[in-house]
Amino acid sequence: MSLNGIMSSALSALQANSAALRVVSNNVANVNTPNYARRVVDLQTLSAGGQLAGVDISDIQRVVDQYLNQESLSAGASSASYDAQSGIFDQINALLGSPGDGTALTSQLSNVFSALGQAALSPTASSSQTSVLGSLQDLANSISSMSSSLSGLQQQTDTQVATSVGSANTLIKQIYDLNAQIKTETASGVTDSALADQRDTALQSLSQLIDVRTVQQADGSTSVMTEDGTSLVGGSTYAQISYTAGGSGGVYQPVTIQNVNGQSGQPVGPAQALDPHLQGGQIEGLITMRDGTLADLQNELGSFAQGVALSFNAQHNANSAYPPPTTLDGRDTGLIVGDALNFTGKTNIAVTDSSGNVVSKIAVDFTAGTLSVDGGAATSFTATIGGFTEALNTALGSNGTATFADGKLSLAATGSNGLVVQDDASTPATRGGYGFSQFFGLNDLFQSSAPSVLSTGLSASDASGLNTGGEIDLQLKGPNGDIAKSGSVTITAGMTVGDVVSALNTAMGGAESFTLNADGSITTSPSSNYTGYQLQVSKDTTQRGTTGISFSQLFGVGANQTALQAANFSVTSAIAGDSSRLAFGQADLSASGPIVGSDDSSGLTALQNLQTSRQSFAKVGALGQQVTSLGNYAAALYQDVSTRGSAVASNKTAQDNRLTEAQSRQSSTSGVSLDEELSNMVIYQQAYSAGARMLNVVDQLYTTLLQIQ
Amino acid sequence: MTVDRVATNAQSQYLLSQIMKANTALDTTQAQVASGKVSSDYVGIGDKTASLEAARAVAARADAYATNTQLAVTQTDLQNTQLTTLSSLAEQLKQAISSAAGNSDGTGLMTTAQDIFEQASAILNSTDANGNYTYGGGQGNSKPFTATSLSDLTSGSVASFFQNGSSKKSVMVGDGESVQIGVLASDVGTQLMTALQNLANADSPSGSLSGSLTSSQTDDLTTNVLPSATDAYAGLNDATAANGETYTRLQDAVTNQQSQATLYKGFVSNIEDADMTTAATKLSLDQTALQAALEVTAKLGQLSLLNYLPTTTTG
């Protein structure tokens, strides 16, 4: 071996070890860089013609474990999903308040009954009436403000979905671009590209939004797909996700995904809904809250509001205020003048003076189609809404007027006279199961955005009354956000109610069935193949005449309609503006003196009984069909929130722990250990020193050699 | 056995996360100790929420029943005083008539009767704090008894002077349990007024009941007037007794509802109030855990190979 050979071996040691020290120094520099995978140096012998000729660096490796990476991505997605849900729950909790702070619906309801109880001994004292009215308004405000907060939260969540979709698109494109650059570098032999760290960072960020799975390709690129296999980044394509925020009436469109060609930017293949493919990540968490918890809670609240409205209105319409009110303005029933009357039974409409003495009494017999004034001869009337109103107006004569416009029946007494409406005790007037006064909402206590009475009393052969050209769009949405079936019905001239129902059945092709019940309500149910699917009305431009009431509002069709029962829930304006209109008495039409007593509290006692009387509630959200008191239903609603909330909280903890564990396992493989790097530094430093000493020795050998003379 | 590598950054992150967890746990326990409540939101109550809210509603309801029934007790108490007075008025009337008949001396009889009439009609037309007629039977704005003087009674039937309504006021003293406390002027006044009417009729202008009485006058008093006064006295005693029973029933209901409220408030407290012993012990444990996490972090921060390597290496 020549001295030159020794020198070049020593030189290779200097080069190899300084290169190794550079790797150590990079590792140390990146000790705190997120997603940095440490590099290790592979040394190999350098040979020349089969002879050892020093040392060389064969490879610098990024130390990564694909399985640990995948687990970390997966755990990250699950954790992010629950994180998003838990963030929204924090807001729901804030709006529900603390247990025992008196703001709960259950407490507000207790306050109403407590105020009624206090008023029992002096029902007409203005202090009693003001405090009852105050407690009723507090209850109504709680319901409507909770409803608007929940719907605001739902919209905010929806906006977040759109924002997250935007971020996901940026990350997907970034990963696709990094893939292309890494491919080029790999082809030229670079195995420890810094771009791979950037790609890992992008993947980690993407997994926060969408659950992802990666497959490492031989060319250095990484294919990315959702956990169920929907491609996000392929070899030559990448996906673009699109979503337009802002549903209408609680109905939201799906998030769609479209593959595009990486070179040309042109779409490849059809766009498809992404919602059913998401199993984790922030977007899935947000959608779950928006379409699940938030929608359910709004519907449960709506169902409670409807129960409150129906029970209080029923009793309040049966009661009479003292002095009897001069005007009774009904709710918007959605009915039009030409609609069949469809009432049976008897009712009485009395005009009284301001002390409650009868001025005139009109007995209406709907079954016979006649009415009689002050016990006079029965005269018959046309059995339509318009025909009856006209006959009633005539019968009132100079004592008052009856008008029907835009779906509302209005009665007014002349001068300071008042009105008392009371159904016959033995054969009460009814339409769709509701009494005369309640059906028209003449003396309603509560009102909201949607009619609480959904039994319309319409029969299949009745004209639909819907304006021609109106359109109803329906979709059947699955629990995972997939749309199983959608359909549309356009109203044509001359359609009966039965025709519209048949058209709806046809449009949905058997996936959802619509049944018109005897009381004029519509029941909808999905076929057995679509259990758990919800019928949503995505658009409804139909209208009954000039009432402003659409088909879906009239019958409460669509999963989101129930929520509207709580929207703008309030005490009716007539009562809110005049607490003496609170009806605490019960008229005695056969009395010789005043038919309504100024100090009569029998109607108030009947209202108090609502505290324990049981109402029936349909299945809504997580609350099953039940017959229970209003208070218990409200308590069940709070129970549902807290059960869901604690489930999310415990899932969040579990997934956070899973993520911490995955990250700790991942970092124990890929992370930089300072102690390890420092000891490597010592080793390479010593090897470098030894190599340098070798050069020194060779130098001395040459000097010795040259000194030979 | 293999020893896992420990990445430096991951280790500090882990330690920091442990400190945060210990902090959060301490925070929760501190809040429990400070507020005395298990949780400040419904999620913290979990699956006991429905029971909590239902129990709270029952407690509030029982409280309301107790308060309102107490108001009714006051009213019944007032009625009791008035009915007792009416009853003693009837007794006075009875005695006045019987002594007039016994002594055949009508001196002062009609004056006494007029006096009794005035006192009785004042009671029948008495009003409550809100100005409503107590015995009005739902008609709070108009006088239930309209005769203004004893002589008025002779001008029509007794019933025609009673203009009260028929609805007796009642109060809910428990779920679905209402007690009728209202008393109608016609129920308690008819008999007394009938007796007075009989007396007024006996005092006809042809033979007024003053000075010494004729035998036909004393007979008339004994056979026609006295029995109706006796009936009035007996009837009013019955009415007072019935009112007294109502009073007792209401007071029982108050006691009953108060104890029910206490019972349910106990349920509420069991669910929502923190157990102070447990909370205080946990507070101390959580403090120790945080202290330990901080100490370990501080100690590990000092441990590094860097401290043991010379800054210059001499090869």
What pLDDT sits at residue B203? 83
Closest CB to A121 among B10, B44, B72: B72
Closest CB to A100 among B56, B138, B139: B56
- Identify the CA nearest to B308 among candidates A32, A682, A22: A682
In Å, how far is A405's CA from the nearest CA of chain B? 37
Which of A21, A596, A642, A683 is the best substitution to test chain B (most B C-beta atoms within 10 A)?
A642
Q: Are A104 and B272 in contact (CB < 8 Å)?
A: no
The CA–CA distances, whole Å, from A432 to A429, A513, A519, A651 equal 10, 21, 4, 46
Q: Which residues, 6+ apart, have CB-to-CB distance to A544 below 8 Å?
A: A334, A335, A336, A407, A465, A466, A467, A550, A551, A554
What pLDDT sits at residue A394? 94
From CA A378, how far away is CA A88, in angstroms rounded? 63
Closest CB to B130 among A120, A125, A605: A125
Sequence letter at residue A412: A
Q: Are B172 and A120 in contact (CB < 8 Å)?
A: yes
Task: Count residue pairs from A and B with Cβ separation < 8 A.
Answer: 232
Residue B314 confidence (pLDDT) above 60: no
Q: Tally Cβ neighbours within 10 Å of residue A89.
A: 24
Residue B256 confidence (pLDDT) above 60: yes
Decide if B175 touches A, using CB distance below 8 A. Answer: yes
How confident is the model over A594-608, as a mean pLDDT? 89
Which of B17, B37, B53, B180 is the best substitution to test chain A (most A C-beta atoms within 10 A)?
B53
From CA A201, how far away is CA A197, in angstroms rounded? 6
How confident is the model over A449-455, as a mean pLDDT? 91
Split at pLDDT 50, 70, 90, the class of A149 is: very high
Q: Are B272 and A100 in contact (CB < 8 Å)?
A: yes
- Give the DSSP per-residue string, chain B: -PPPP--HHHHHHHHHHHHHHHHHHHHHHHHHHHH-BS-SSGGGTGGGHHHHHHHHHHHHHHHHHHHHHHHHHHHHHHHHHHHHHHHHHHHHHHHHHHHHHHHTB-TTHHHHHHHHHHHHHHHHT-B-TTS-BTTSTT--SS-SB---SGGGGGGS-HHHHB---S---EEEEETTEEEE----HHHHHHHHHHHHHHHHHHS-GGG-S-SBPPHHHHHHIIIIIHHHHHHHHHHHHHHHHHHHHHHHHHHHHHHHHHHHHHHHHHHHHHHHB--HHHHHHHHHHHHHHHHHHHHHHHHHHH--GGGGS-SS---
Residue B121 confidence (pLDDT) above 70: yes
pLDDT over 90 percentage in chain A: 78
Secondary structure class of A436 (helix, strand, coil): helix
Split at pLDDT 50, 70, 90, the class of B43 is: confident
Cα dihedral A397, A400, A402, A403 in deg (nearest 10):
110
Span B124-163, pLDDT tens digits: 999 888 788 989 888 888 899 999 988 888 888 999 999 8
Decide if B20 touches A, using CB distance below 8 A. Answer: no
Instruction: Read off the tokens for B174.
Output: 């428990």
pLDDT over 70 percentage in chain B: 97
Decide if B60 touches A, using CB distance below 8 A. Answer: yes
Q: Are B42 and A355 in contact (CB < 8 Å)?
A: no
Residue B206 confidence (pLDDT) above 70: no
Secondary structure class of A214 (helix, strand, coil): strand
Q: Are A120 and B132 in contact (CB < 8 Å)?
A: no
**Which chain A residues have a beta carbon less than 8 Å from that of B268?**
100
Q: Are A638 and B50 in contact (CB < 8 Å)?
A: yes
Split at pLDDT 50, 70, 90, the class of B315 is: very low
In Å, how far is B126's CA from the nearest CA of chain A? 14
Q: Are B64 and A124 in contact (CB < 8 Å)?
A: no
Residue B252 confidence (pLDDT) above 80: yes
Search chain B and give the residue with CA nearest A592: B165
- Identify the CA nearest to A651 among candidates A186, A346, A284, A122: A284
What pLDDT sits at residue B205? 64
Sequence letter at residue A62: R
The better pLDDT of the pair B131, B241 is held by B241
From CA B233, how far away is CA B120, in angstroms rounded? 13
| ipTM for the complex shown | 0.83
The better pLDDT of the pair B304, A45 is held by A45
Span A623-672, pLDDT tens digits: 999 999 999 999 999 999 999 999 999 999 999 999 988 988 888 889 99
Residue A152 confidence (pLDDT) above 60: yes
The CA–CA distances, whole Å, from A165 to A109, A158, A239, A467 equal 42, 11, 12, 40
Mean predicted lDDT score pLDDT of chain A: 92
**Which chain B residues have a beta carbon less than 8 Å from that of A679?**
305
- Identify the CA nearest to A240 among candidates A215, A272, A211, A201: A272
Closest CB to B42 among A32, A645, A689: A645
Phi–psi pair at A280, nearest 5 degrees: -165, -175
Q: Which residues, 6+ apart, have CB-to-CB distance to A113 below 8 Å?
A: A608, A610, A611, B61, B64
Place of tokens 């980044």: A233
What pLDDT sits at residue B233? 94
Closest CB to B68 among A118, A124, A597: A118
In Å, how far is B289's CA from the nearest CA of chain A? 18
Closest CB to A599 among B42, B50, B132: B132
Decide if B10 touches A, using CB distance below 8 A. Answer: yes
Q: What angle separates helix B226-272 from helix B49-103, to the nearest 10 degrees?
A: 160
CA atoms within 13 A on the CB side of A650: 8
What pLDDT sits at residue B2? 62
Q: Are A675 and B304 in contact (CB < 8 Å)?
A: yes
In Å, how far is A658's CA from the nearest CA of chain B? 13
Residue A199 confidence (pLDDT) above 60: yes
From CA A435, how far away is CA B222, in angstroms rounded? 59
Split at pLDDT 50, 70, 90, the class of B3 is: low
Which of A88, A105, A121 is the best substitution to test chain B (most B C-beta atoms within 10 A)?
A121
Weakest-pLDDT range from A121-130, A232-241, A417-426, B288-297:
A121-130
What pLDDT sits at residue A326? 95
Q: Are A642 and B46 in contact (CB < 8 Å)?
A: yes
In Å, how far is B142's CA from the nearest CA of chain A? 9
Q: Which residues pair with A408 in a beta bridge?
A: A405
Q: Are B315 and A689 in contact (CB < 8 Å)?
A: yes
Cα dihedral A541, A544, A547, A550 in deg (nearest 10):
-40
From CA A149, how far away is CA B296, in angstroms rounded? 45
Q: Are B49 and A643 in contact (CB < 8 Å)?
A: yes
Span A201-244, pLDDT tens digits: 999 999 999 999 999 998 989 999 999 999 999 989 999 999 99
Decide if B138 touches A, using CB distance below 8 A. Answer: yes
Instruction: Read off the tokens for A360.
Output: 């005139």
Sequence letter at residue A515: T
DSSP E strands, A454-500 = 471-477, 483-490
Decide if B313 touches A, using CB distance below 8 A. Answer: yes
Closest CB to A104 among B53, B268, B305: B53
- Identify the CA nearest to A537 among candidates A489, A480, A600, A467: A489
Closest CB to B64 among A114, A642, A660: A114
Span A24-49, pLDDT tens digits: 999 999 999 888 999 999 999 988 88
